Amino acid sequence: MNAAEDRDLTSRLVQPREVAPGIWWFPLCLELSLLGRDVHLHNSPYLILGADKTLMWDSGDPSAWDELEPALDGLLDGRPLDYVAISHSELPHSGNVHRLFSKFPGLRELGETRDYPLLFPDYVDRFVAYGPGMPIELGGLRFELLPAVIKDLPHTQWGYEASNQVMFTTDAFAYSHHPPLEDDDRPVHLPHECARLVSEIGRSPGPEQVVWITRAALYWARFLRMAQFRRRFDELVATHPTRMIAPAHGAVIDDMTVLPVIWEALDLAYDPEAGVAAAAAEARTS
């Protein structure tokens, strides 16, 4: 999410859930006011517990640290956190890195490191440049970084765990819990929905859920068709077979048949005339 957006944000952690052997989902639910509407939206980090090493994907929103820390301790059960891989440096994804470094003296951050020494100068020696095609053996589980197909920031990266064929896609395939419609009196959150897989929710996300958050988080989607990104994604899946998609801002996708629906909804964000008008309005007020 863009920091410039108007948001009154709080986070709460629903009970962590093992979505594949050794892969734990922390369903952080952001309760926020964005673009004038109250919504609930996932902001999920993940923990991968190999037999030998442990790795955390993203660090979670700082507002939920008091709940995230004991949950992380419970899953590690005395083990250290060996690696953290951050998808990109935006606050909801990197905001707890300094806390993790302070808590785990041997922790190393792997991946694209261009911004982090400036953001966390006390931990310059803890950042290790690591690129795609360099798998990390965790003990029975293998993690690697992937070139992100859909990016929030230029240095956004994706992740992949090969044994379970899980792809971590950060801001891609994001959607809100409920459609943010005008004059809609439904609750923005149903009981237990934060921790449900897509197959358990019982419905595919509607276009209004996908388009709204895509336009809010990925401004460029107004100007570019998604077809080219869909082709790149299909090429990536051809080399990295995927049974489950673990996004940051949406339920874990364990039913891959919903992907065409999401891709079609993503393309509805394309609206160059509205994008130009919005950009001009922002320029006049800045």
The confidence score (pLDDT) of residue 174 equals 80
pLDDT along the chain (286 residues), means of 10: 43 84 91 65 92 97 91 97 94 91 96 84 92 93 96 92 97 72 55 79 73 78 88 96 94 91 84 66 59
Q: Are 83 and 56 in contact (CB under 8 A)?
A: yes
Residues 185, 182: Cα–Cα separation, whole Å: 9
Q: Is residue 4 part of a domain?
A: no
- Chain-centroid distance, C-alpha 70: 21
- pLDDT at position 33, please? 67
Residue 229 has what pLDDT? 93
Q: Per the domain annotation, does 1 fall within a domain?
A: no
**Does some domain include residue 3?**
no
**pLDDT value at position 3?**
38
Query: How many folded domains does the chain comprise?
Result: 1
Q: Which of 129, 125, 85 is nearest to 106 (CA)?
A: 125
Residue 2, domain member (yes or no): no
196 assigned to some structural domain: yes
In whole angstroms, what is the distance from residue 199 CA to residue 258 CA? 9
pLDDT at 161: 98
**Burial degree of 78 (CB within 10 A; 0-12, 13-18, 19+):** exposed
- The reply to whether 245 falls in a domain is yes
Exposure on the CB side of residue 111, measured as CA atoms within 13 A = 28
Tell me, yes or no, whether 159 lies in a domain. yes
Q: What is the CATH number of the domain that holds 64?
A: 3.60.15.10
Residue-number span of the structural domain to which 186 is assigned? 10-285
SS3 38: strand
- Residue 124: inside a domain: yes
User: Looking at residue 281, what is its pLDDT?
Assistant: 57
Instruction: Identify the pLDDT of residue 218.
Output: 81
